[in-house]
Amino acid sequence: MRVSYSLVRPMLRLLDPEDAHRAAIWGLKLGLGGRESAPDDPVLKTRVWNLDFPNPVGVAAGFDKGAEVVDALLALGFGFTEAGTVTPLPQPGNPRPRLFRLDEDEGVINRLGFNSGGLAPYLERISRRQRRGIFGANVGKNREATDAFKDYETGIVAVCPYADYLVVNVSSPNTPGLRSLQARASMEELLTRVLVARNQSAPDPRRPPPLLAKVGPDLDEAAIADIAEVALSTGVDGLIVGNTTIERPSTLRSPYAKETGGLSGKPLLPRANKCLSDMYRLTKGKVPLIGCGGIASGADAYAKIRAGASLVQLYSMLVFHGPELAVRIKRDLAERLRADGFASVCDAVGADYR
Ligand SMILES: Cc1cc2nc3c(=O)[nH]c(=O)nc-3n(C[C@H](O)[C@H](O)[C@H](O)COP(=O)(O)O)c2cc1C
């Protein structure tokens, strides 16, 4: 049974944003999100890292931090979903309120700070899955960790047997010091260590799950160039570009615009796209990128693909448009690919530079 989001939305909006999110997870667990039964348009099929995606539109990390609704999200018609960020040990995150809906701007600010149930319940859930549909596991470090690298290694070793791809999140603005891991030397050491950890814990050593790093949109050109070089030299399989921004565009109108935290949704789109196209150019198209940040439509998804994204992800716009968004984006994206004469998503990746 699918409950129409237009009916539920007014009720969810009466709730504090974090309670509304819990209610949405609860609804998905109960199967109220429904199941998208129509097969995907073949033009949307794509293959990245030897994985066959039915379509390139995924759910970004943060929506399902504890891997509670992986299959329910896939059932909405998303081509893949990423659960996390999970930290090795449980931790509460920052005090509430810590999540703000910027209605006037179609944006979200969060300073959740990796609230996490820890690896144990996360593993319990993902190990029970039937493994239908592509699932990525996104890992982070505990706030009080004395050895950040060790936390990432612990996470990767633990989730590796159960995930189709792995992500190290080094770009949340809400954990002190986390983003400094994006600096060249730290990134080099971190990626080298987690790649070894991944290789040693892969169920099939000949086909380890791809490992990606998720970076932020607040990097200057030199920092993007450093990450591009490190990505190429370490052999990391991909990059997610990217996370929320600490910048506040002057166009914001919401009374919550000055809240501390990471901004996502529509106001993030231009910054995220600039970062994505810089990264594609600097990695010379050799490192598959997942474009994330501000996607609200098929046109936005298509623009990211043309700018170099092999896949795309979204979160914030689900808050404003509900679960029907996946179907709408896919329909529009398929039309745009065909209208421009592309036979598949792969053919359109990076088309802006040709
Ligand atoms: C409430 C909230 C929580 C988030 N938590 C995480 C997280 O735990 N790990 C992570 O990698 N990204 C997290 N993100 C970032 C999203 O995955 C995404 O990168 C960002 O929101 C930009 O995409 P969007 O504009 O489509 O939301 C979070 C975003 C929001 C809004």
pLDDT tens profile 203-253 = 999 999 999 999 999 999 999 999 999 999 999 999 999 999 999 999 999
Q: Which residues participate in catalysis according to the annotation? A: 172
Residue tagged 């699932």 (tokens): 135
CA distance 212 to 290: 9
End-to-end Cα separation, the chain, in angstroms: 45
Based on its alpha-carbon atoms, the radius of gyration of the chain, rounded to whole angstroms, reads 19
Instruction: Write the pLDDT tens digit of every residue in 167-204.
Output: 999 998 888 888 888 788 899 999 999 999 999 999 99
Q: pLDDT grade, residue 292 (50/70/90)?
A: very high
- Among protein residues, the one with the nearest Cα to ligand 1's atom 29 is 62
- Among protein residues, the one with the nearest Cα to ligand 1's atom 24 is 293
Nearest in space to 155 (alpha carbons), one of 169, 172, 143: 169
Pocket test of ligand 1: the residue of 109, 172, 311, 315 to mutate, having most ligand atoms within 8 Å of its CB, is 315
For residue 189 the two structure tokens come to: 């050491």
- Among protein residues, the one with the nearest Cα to ligand 1's atom 26 is 314
Residue tagged 């509460």 (tokens): 92
The alpha carbon of 61 and the centre of ligand 1 are apart by a number of angstroms equal to 6
Length of the chain: 354
Instruction: Write the pLDDT tens digit of every residue in 58-115.
Output: 999 999 999 999 999 999 999 999 999 999 999 999 999 999 999 999 999 999 999 9
Write down the pLDDT at residue 6: 66
Q: Where are the alpha helices (DSSP H) in the chain?
A: 5-14, 17-29, 70-75, 119-127, 148-159, 184-201, 221-234, 269-282, 298-306, 316-321, 325-339, 345-348
Query: pTM for the full model?
Result: 0.97
3-state secondary structure of 85: strand
Whole-number Cα distances in Å, 76 to 81, 99, 108, 128: 11, 24, 22, 20
Angle in degrees, CA 347, 352, 354, rounded to 5: 70
β-bridge partners, 345: none
Q: Which atom of ligand 1 is nearest to the CA of 84?
A: 8
CB neighbours of residue 54 within 10 Å: 20
Pocket test of ligand 1: the residue of 165, 243, 318, 319 to mutate, having most ligand atoms within 8 Å of its CB, is 243
